[in-house]
Amino acid sequence: MVIFYISMLLFAGYSILIIYYWRCWISVPEYIPKQKMHSTKISVIIPARNEEENIGHLLQALQKQTYPSNSFETIVINDQSDDNTVEVVKQFKGVILFELDSDPVNSYKKKAIEQGINAASGKLIITTDADCIPPPPWIETIVSFYEEKKSAFIAAPVIFQHDSSLVQIFQALDFLVLQGITGASVYKKIHSMCNGANVTYQKEVFEQVKGFEGVDNIASGDDMLLMHKIWKKFPEDVHYR
């Protein structure tokens, strides 16, 4: 009987929390980009390891962006792939390709992102994963939001693609809820959450918080741990789009 009451109490607490997040989520205003000439230089950073089946689709999607091609650069950092990832990337003209340093580290993805940022010429850094496919207005919408809000860090949603199998549908629903909690928590400034497949931050801000220094001993956290560092220094300039 005690277990039953504890379970009901936990269920009630969880329900209240989910309702709170839901109310916060529906209060997030829809962002409509303004039609204007944008001038911010962008660097899209893509760490990749054994992504020969995916990265070509991503690079094709970047070629179809509505943002002027001379205003953004694409930087791929090959994380010691042993497949044909490098050969696929080399097929795309203008894509900057780096090989990740072979020195042993705790987080190769953080090291790859850091290496890409060091070489980036853009004022604004956008990171994504090699298995993502952004829509054509992706960069233009981010830049419009940044130029309006002057954000230090922008968290943005990621959509989980799935087939009709029960397992993948469940995974998609779970991921959808997580994305809603992310948007609600960032908008209400409750805590810092994001997904590294779609985050943006100023290169200068990355340098001011000393990048991944202090969290580079942790294998994961190239997104949330960095976001938390930036949040502590620029609490009013972390936004959700």
Is pLDDT above 80 for 173?
Answer: no
Q: Is residue 23 part of a domain?
A: no
Percentage with pLDDT > 90 across the chain? 48
Q: Which of 16-20, 117-121, 188-192 has the highest mean pLDDT?
A: 117-121
Q: Is residue 33 part of a domain?
A: no
Structurally, how many domains does the chain consist of?
A: 1
pLDDT at 60: 97
Specify the higher pLDDT residue, 240 or 161: 240
Specify the higher pLDDT residue, 161 or 10: 10
Range of the domain at 49: 42-156+194-240
User: What is the rounded average pLDDT of the residues 139-166?
Assistant: 84
Q: Is residue 104 part of a domain?
A: yes
Q: Which pTM was predicted?
A: 0.87
Tell me the DSSP string of 74-108. EEEEE-S-SSSHHHHHHTSTT-EEEEPP-S--S-H
Is pLDDT above 90 for 156?
Answer: no
Average pLDDT of the chain to the nearest whole number: 86
Provide the 3-class DSSP secondary structure of residue 42. strand
Q: d(Cα 138, Cα 26) in Å, to the nearest integer?
A: 22
The enclosing domain of 145 has a CATH number of: 3.90.550.10
Q: Is residue 152 part of a domain?
A: yes
pLDDT tens for 13-41 read 878 877 877 787 777 777 777 767 778 99
Contact (Cβ atoms closer than 8 angstroms) between residue 28 and residue 189: no
Specify whether the backbone of 57 is left (phi greater than 0), alpha (psi in -120 to 50) or beta. Answer: alpha
Is pLDDT above 90 for 5?
Answer: no
Q: Tell me which residue of 69, 94, 70, 89 sits closest to 79, measured CA to CA.
A: 89
pLDDT tens for 60-109 read 999 999 999 999 999 999 988 889 999 999 999 999 999 987 776 667 88
pLDDT tens for 135-144 read 999 999 999 9
Q: Is residue 181 part of a domain?
A: no
Q: Is residue 184 part of a domain?
A: no
Is pLDDT above 70 for 160?
Answer: no
Provide the 3-class DSSP secondary structure of residue 163. coil
pLDDT at 9: 85
> Which band of pLDDT confidence, cut at 50, 70 and 90, is reported for residue 46?
very high
Q: Which helix (H) or strand (E) holds 43?
A: strand 42-48
